[in-house]
Amino acid sequence: MNLEGVKVTSEVLWRAAVLFGLFDIVLVFYYARFIEPTIFGQMKWPVTFFTGIFWFLIWLVMVLFFWDPVYHYVFPSWSRWGLPLLFGIGFAFIGLLFWWLAMQFKGNPVLSFCLLGGLWGMLTHVWAIHRGILDKPPLLQGASPVAASIMPIFEFIFYWCVILGVSFLWNNRKKTN
């Protein structure tokens, strides 16, 4: 993918944070209201499975379309085709951990699950910033580290909502058969 001359600016990141935040408000409150804790408790394996599939696909897209403009700057070249599988499996375990933690916390497990996902987004992006993601790729040079750390909170909450929604549909589909 040729992204020569394209820049991801701090303004773009802040606008993305607002857009993702608006989607998050709707999705999180909808899921928190309609996915009861007992139903969430039954979604352990669908959440784990669909988390792995989701992140495998996300990283497959990343290495197919964004390897040259972004990711080859922060990952060794030998890792390119292993990243989707590695992140798919790794995130599946993270999804299982988040499901378990959400079940341990008091309050609504859906809300806890989504907030953990947002925190994970921030942590992974702080790690990427530390690895040089904002300094090395021309596409991201000049973007604010603060914006690049805050936006993923809302981006990842959205992603974990997608995973939660698919897992909920899968869980309900199994019950009707």
DSSP letter for each residue of 56-96: HHHHHHHHHHSTTTTGGGTS-GGGTTTHHHHHHHHHHHHHH
Question: pLDDT by residue (tens digit) across 35-64?
Answer: 999 999 999 999 999 999 999 999 999 999
| Residue-level pLDDT at 110 | 98
Question: For 76, phi and psi rounded to 5 degrees?
Answer: -65, 150
Q: Looking at residue 125, what is its pLDDT?
A: 97
**In this predicted structure, what is the pLDDT of residue 123?**
98
Would the pTM of this model clear 0.85, i.e. be above it? yes
- Rounded to the nearest integer, the mean pLDDT of the chain is 94
Residues of the chain with pLDDT under 50: none
Q: What is the pLDDT of residue 1?
A: 61
Instruction: Provide CB contacts within 8 A for 10, sequence distance 6+.
Output: 142, 143, 144, 146, 147
